[in-house]
Amino acid sequence: MLGFISKLFGGSKSEKDVKTILPVVDQINSHFTSYKTLSNDELRGKTAEFKARIASHLESTDKAIATRQEEAEALPVEEMAGRDEAYQQIDKLKTDRDQQLEVILKELLPEAFAVVKETARRFASGTELRSTVTDMDRELSVKRDYVTIDGDTSVFANTWPAGGAAVTWNMVHYDVQLIGGAVLHSGKISEMATGEGKTLVSTLPAYLNALAGLGVHIVTVNDYLARRDSEWNGTLFEWLGLSVDCIDKHHPNTEERRKAYLADITYGTNNEFGFDYLRDNMVHNPDEMVQRKHHYAMVDEVDSVLIDDARTPLIISGPVPRGDEQQYHLLKPRVHQLVEAQKQVVNKFLAEARKKLAEGNDDPKDGGMALMRAYRGLPKSGPLIKFLSEPGVRVKLQKAENYYLADQSKEMYRVDEELFFHIEEKNKQVDLTEKGLQMITKSGEDPEFFVLPDISLKLGALDKDAALTPEEKLHQKEAILNEYSIKADRIHTVQQLLKAYTLFDNDVEYVVIEQQVKIVDEQTGRIMEGRRYSDGLHQAIEAKENVKIEAATQTYATITLQNYFRMYHKLAGMTGTAETEAAELWDIYKLDVVNIPTNIPITRKDEQDLVYKTKREKYKAVIDELERLRSLGRPALVGTTSVEVSELLSKMLQVKKIPHNVLNAKQHAR
């Protein structure tokens, strides 16, 4: 029915978008056919020709900007209003220039794409390309083994290293890839199925937009892909006279990385682009900055970068003036004892909830309360999670939760009063209860040991005490503030230790490798090297795992990927799974998604999902299926949600004597 309605109105949105690009594809192929008669020198010369046409189109605007710049700089410093107005006019002229640039690039698109396609064809059809040597060729011959100089002729071999392996160029763009390239150039998201050649597609808009001389950033999800793609596609660009580099090959804040950003086309990971921006905002001299204008970016796996990781902040931090590592060691035994006591209480309430719910008693004040207490006590408890997976149980928990959250949670204290601490799982907040305070405070210790003093009340009473001299008041005021600071740090340490014990699990949120706690990216399963949880949480986890507690850090600069990528004049992306996030991508970034048809019909068979009642049954079914596939001689890839699950399946495969490899955060370099 949906297909009929779609055809009735002229096809789906993506089909209409593709239909508008088809005439452009015909133009590209027409130029491509004509370029076959060009010599190698003539084909390479197209780059200089295109650059000259762009410069000619923008000449009047560039002159206007230069003139206004001179006028603004000539104004006396005292004329702030005049200078401000002049620079506003310059900004407007630069915006107009960007718009005019898009006009000329659109005009050049068929010819530029045809040049890239013809270059790819020539590399694929022979073992080498010979042309008149250029200065850039001579520089490349020093650094690249596959580029040699033979008198006045440069020789580019069609085999070169990429990602640690030799690759022989054998690809020429299909029509669907030309469509994908046109979509990327227009600042949209090109959704292409796996295996349809997204890496090759990126060469088309990268070449076209690099002609403007403002830089093209190609963003990948990991450093291996950034290095591999820069080497794989780089030779095409370099033969056409464009410079290519990868920021992940160079250390931050170095001249080499600055040069990488000055290249016509720059590859790198999303995090490194973001961190370089933060570092640029911390320099003392503008000459120390490495990035230039954020002009055009193409993001690989765009849904992962712009949606899944978008709100995760990139943070540059540094050491705090004083360390509080000792505090974690001192308070860890108390917190450990508290957590063990909470486990017993939660198990008791969970057993009570099971019994009462089985009897049909899900009253929020009775059976529902017992379940709510178990959930508020330890939401990540294995037995609780298993119980919540049973039919109807989570609905009953939701019913109880709605009851206690009503009227600004005025009844929630009844749930929490029997617990030692309560956990808000959604915002990862842990707070001690009165019962917990009593337990964590040692016998004979100050009962206020973990209670913050009412500082305003104490300072107010101090100011009114006429018996004290000003010096005595100042001394006592310092003592009150010092007491508050010590207790605040102590309570904060307890809260972070409680979080570490109850909300963060080894081999799930983090792994311990070589006596170091390393965070695992929940989206990719890879270790996030150099990252640390903020606000003392990482130190708390280190204390929990009995490894060396590193110094605490404080934030110097931070930005989210969402805010970083919004700075680009033009943003585009590639992925195989963007249509499900199409609305969100449009709302946040004003990025449209276009589904690109496959070159040949998909023959892959997509099976229906199978849902099992327990993990044991599910894992057994996975192993059985792997045995079946192995008997047929078919390799299989199994994706898991955590390191823990991957290692469990590995043990099950070992029992069955099925040979396999494990790739997870602990063994990511394999």
Per-residue pLDDT reduced to its tens digit, 398-418: 999 899 888 888 889 889 999
Taking phi over 0 as left and psi of -120 to 50 as alpha, with beta for the rest, 149 belongs to: beta
Q: Where are the domains of the chain?
A: 13-125+158-317+561-595, 325-503, 615-667
Percentage of the chain exceeding pLDDT 90:
59
466: tokens are: 């006429």
Q: Smallest Cα–Cα separation from 236: which of 160, 346, 336, 345?
A: 160
Distances in Å between the alpha carbon of 340 and those of 346, 418, 510?
Answer: 10, 15, 22
CA-to-CA dists, residue 574 to 188, 192, 298, 579, angstroms:
9, 7, 7, 11
Q: What does the DSSP 8-state code read for residue 520?
A: B
Are 431 and 461 contacting, i.e. CB atoms less than 8 angstroms apart?
no
**What is the H or E stretch that residue 114 is in?**
helix 80-125
Per-residue pLDDT tens over the stretch 29-56: 999 999 999 999 999 999 999 999 999 9
Q: How much is the pLDDT for 349?
A: 95
pLDDT score of 9: 39
Q: How many CB atoms lie within 10 A of CB 486?
A: 11
Kindly report, residue by residue over 206-219, the tens digit of the pLDDT. Answer: 999 999 999 999 99
pLDDT in tens, 246-292: 999 999 989 999 999 999 999 999 989 999 999 999 999 998 999 99
pLDDT digits (tens, 9 = 90+) for 284-320: 999 899 999 999 999 998 988 888 777 778 888 777 7
Residue 489: which of 323, 333, 316 has the closest Cα?
323
pLDDT at 384 (0 to 100) = 93
Query: Quick one: how far is CA 369 from the chain centroid?
Result: 39
Highest-confidence segment of 6-15, 595-604, 648-657: 648-657
Q: For the segment 187-199, what is each residue's pLDDT rounded down to a tens digit?
A: 999 999 888 899 9
**Residue 323: per-residue pLDDT:** 57
Please say if the pLDDT value at position 561 is more than 50. yes
Question: What phi-psi label fits residue 660: left (phi over 0), alpha (psi between -120 and 50 degrees) or beta?
Answer: beta
Q: Which whole number is the average pLDDT over 502-520?
A: 91
Tokens 């295109």 belong to residue: 50
How many Å apart are CA 98 and CA 58, to the nearest integer? 9
Q: What is the mean pLDDT of the chain?
A: 89
Query: Per-residue confidence at 174, pLDDT binned at 50, 70, 90?
Result: very high
Task: Specify the amino acid at residue 165.
Answer: A
Give me the pLDDT at residue 453, please. Answer: 75
Exposed e or buried b per residue across 324-355, where buried means at least 16 C-beta atoms within 10 angstroms of its C-beta: beebbeebbebbeebbebbeebbbebbebbbe
pLDDT, average across residues 516-530: 80
- Tell me the per-residue pLDDT of 424-464, one tens digit each, with 9 for 90 and over: 988 889 999 989 988 988 766 777 777 777 788 878 888 88
**Spatial CA neighbour of 665 closest among 497, 537, 523:** 523
Distances (CA, A) of 543 to 337, 516, 555: 14, 11, 22
Candidates 314, 378, 310, 368; CA nearest to 342 is 378
Rounded to whole angstroms, how far apart are CA atoms 286 and 307? 32
What average pLDDT does range 158-183 have in this prediction?
94
Per-residue confidence (pLDDT) for residue 406, from 0 to 100: 86
Q: What count of other Cβ atoms lies within 10 Å of the Cβ of residue 453?
A: 15
Contact call for residues 123 and 160 (beta carbons, < 8 A): no
Alpha helices in 359-420 (DSSP H): 367-377, 382-388, 393-409, 412-416
Is CATH 3.40.1080.10 the right assignment for the domain spanning 13-125+158-317+561-595? no
- Distance of alpha carbon 373 from alpha carbon 363, whole angstroms: 13
Is residue 87 very low, low, confident or very high in pLDDT (cuts 50, 70, 90)? Answer: confident
Widest pairwise Cα distance in the chain? 102
Query: Does the pLDDT value for residue 150 go beyond 90?
Result: yes
What's the confidence (pLDDT) of residue 667?
67
Residues 6+ apart with CB under 8 A from 97: 58, 61, 62, 65
pLDDT for 203 beyond 80: yes
Contact indicator for 207, 112 with CB cutoff of 8 Å: yes
Query: Side chain identity at 431, as an amino acid letter?
Result: D
Tell me how far apart the alpha carbons of residues 142 and 122 are, in angstroms, rounded to a whole number.
Answer: 23
Q: What pLDDT sits at residue 451?
A: 79
- The DSSP 8-state label assigned to residue 308 in this structure reads I
Tell me which residue has tokens 């605490």.
552
- pLDDT score of 3 more than 80: no
> How far is residue 548 from each of residues 202, 284, 520, 535, 665, measured CA to CA in Å?
45, 34, 19, 17, 21
Q: What are the start-end ranges of the E strands in 597-659?
A: none
| pLDDT surpassing 50 at residue 354 | yes
Q: Angle at Cα 441 formed by Cα 440 and Cα 445, nearest 5°?
A: 160
Quickly list DSSP for 45-86: HHHHHHHHHHHHHHHHHHHHHHHHHHHHHHS-TT-HHHHHHH
Answer yes or no: are the C-beta atoms of 107 and 24 closer than 8 Å: no
- Using alpha carbons only, give the angle 476, 480, 485 rounded to the nearest 5 degrees: 145
Four-point Cα dihedral 340, 342, 347, 351, nearest 10: 160
The pLDDT score that the predictor gives to residue 387 is: 92
What does the alpha-carbon distance between residue 403 and residue 507 come to, in Å, rounded to a whole number? 35
Angle subtended at Cα 78 by Cα 75 and Cα 80, rounded to the nearest 5 degrees: 75
pLDDT for 233 equals: 96
Q: How many CA atoms lie within 13 A of 227 on its CB side?
A: 11
Residue 510 has pLDDT above 50, yes or no: yes
